[in-house]
Structure 1
């Protein structure tokens, strides 16, 4: 009997939870990160909290297998969703949201497997250029969730 897609496909919330092995790597300091300029290849929409950002991605019905670049900062409970350059302002002004565009930098893992607690790939980019989330759709779902958190999965 085939497994259902629900149990076999990775979910945003499951992917955002680092493994014990990865957490041990972070404690040992075996991570490599670097600061990357925003506003050239992408803007970043920072959502506080990680759970709210993940709920918005679920509500958007975008799957993690597509390779949308999404980072989590577990130290400050921020989710960073990469959007096309110059478009992040569509989400500006929403509660718990900051837009990182030209003039900002984002801490990113050097490779898919070199994350830290402050820069963890929930979904690493899988293509060049990577597919990017539409900020207007992200903003719409963040607004909806701010009004009624029960709408996360609708």
Structure 2
């Protein structure tokens, strides 16, 4: 085979949700500066929150769902606790109850949310909500994708 005739493989592109979730050096500098604020927001009225640990599992679910990062689906990251919060319609988060590494925040719970654009290491929007009315992630679809990601690898074809 002549040099250069082999097809070069392109490295796999980093999924969009991973690109927006990684704190940039600019964001880290803003966090270090300390002029950010957070507030507690009540869950269960306008939305429920599905908390997923580790962040990677939640990002994989969002990627599998093919939701656009700029589509206005509100998603928060807590880099300190390696937890991702995905906002779903109120009263629907219970669909994810019982999944390993998943907690549901609904009526009676509160979620730490950023007030400033850059947030804090404990609460920053990786996908901020639209100002008018946020698009909420369908809890049943999220739960389906989380279950698939947690299932053991399919061995049907390989076992033959």
TM range (shorter): 0.7 to 0.9
Residues 3-18 of structure 1: pairs in structure 2 closer than 5 A = 11-18=16-23
Q: Does 1:96 align with 2:94?
A: no
**Two-structure CA RMSD over aligned residues (Å):** 1.9
Aligned pairs for 1:1-154 within 5 A? 11-111=16-116, 113-148=117-152
CA distance in structure 1 between the aligned counterparts of 2:101 and 2:73, rounded to whole angstroms: 21
SS at match of 1:31: coil
Deviation at 1:147, TM superposition (A): 0.9
Higher helix share: 1
Contact kept, 8 Å, 1:67 with 1:124, in 2: the verdict is yes
Distance 1:149 1:75, change over 3 A: farther
Q: TM-score, normalised by structure 1?
A: 0.87
1:82-113 superposed Cα distances (whole Å, 9 cap, x missing partner): 000111001111010000000000000114x1
Q: Which runs of 5+ in 2 are unaligned?
A: 1-11, 155-160
Unaligned runs of 5+ in 1: 1-5
* Shift, 1:148, TM fit: 4.1
Give 3-state SS (helix, strand or coil) of 1:136's partner: helix
Shift of 1:114: 3.6
Structure 1 runs (4+) greater than 2 angstroms displaced? none
Q: Deviations over 1:16-71 (max 9, x none)?
A: 01111110111221211111100010000000010000000001111111110000
Report the count of equivalent residues.
143
Decide which structure has the larger Cα Rg and report it. 2
**Distance (Å, rounded) in 1 between the aligned partners of 2:83 and 2:137:** 17
Contact 1:33 1:114 in 2 (8 A): no
Give 1:149 shift: 7.0
TM-score, length basis structure 2: 0.84
